Amino acid sequence: MCLNKGCCFFAPADFPSENLPRLKTQLFLYQTVVAHLGNTMNTKTTDFLFACKNLYFSEIHPFDFNKSDSDEYGGIVELGKEIIQEIGLQNFAGFITENQYRVGIWSSFITLEYGKPDRNEILEISGTETIFKACLEKIEQNEINELPTEIIENKKNWIGKIKTCYNIV
């Protein structure tokens, strides 16, 4: 409980108690991811997070293939591949839990397109879900903001291609 009045965004009494179990789950997931990624954080992983933020504000989406020749798009793909080489696919795939600035979508896209995970390899931070399934589910999720029709079509076609590559049709 905060004793310094005015420093918190909400007072404990303002927080609905029915949200407490969800908040505890989110906190546990956050702590798990921080512990997992904390061991692997380096300059390149930090650069990846900031690159995702910059691409988000530049309106460059992983499935905006018209921009795939841009320096920014190519840069994040190359950076993702370098990170996979340095810290391993399992650790890079841990970014899937990050929701801001499409970090989870970029990492899922790069993991499946370039990391080529074994179809049955379990994502360690999940414990039960495969890397393939977790990444594909992240990509298939609807985003907060509606995407342009062309990007939605690109995404749908890419998902079909990836499922074919992994013999999941």
Structure tokens at 129: 């879900």
Q: What is the DSSP letter of 1?
A: -
- How far apart are the C-alpha atoms of 33 and 47, rounded to whole Å? 18
pLDDT digits over 82-121, tens only? 999 999 999 999 999 999 999 999 999 999 999 999 999 9
User: What pTM value is reported for the model?
Assistant: 0.75
pLDDT band, very low/low/confident/very high, at 140 (cuts 50, 70, 90): very high
How far, in whole angstroms, is CA 103 from its chain's centroid? 4
Q: What is the pLDDT of residue 31?
A: 56
Backbone φ and ψ of 122, nearest 5°: -75, 135
CB 92 within 8 A of CB 83: yes
pLDDT for 28 beyond 70 = no
- How far apart are the C-alpha atoms of 163 and 160, rounded to whole Å? 5
Q: What is the pLDDT of residue 13?
A: 47
Chain mean pLDDT for the chain: 83
Per the listing, tokens 């420093």 go with 7
Q: What is the pLDDT of residue 78?
A: 98
Please state the rounded mean pLDDT for residues 126-139.
94
pLDDT for 27 beyond 60 = no
Residue that wins the pLDDT comparison between 42 and 33: 42
pLDDT band, very low/low/confident/very high, at 124 (cuts 50, 70, 90): very high
pLDDT digits over 44-90, tens only? 999 999 999 999 999 999 999 999 999 999 999 999 999 999 999 99
- How far apart are the C-alpha atoms of 76 and 80, rounded to whole Å? 6
- How far apart are the C-alpha atoms of 52 and 104, rounded to whole Å? 9
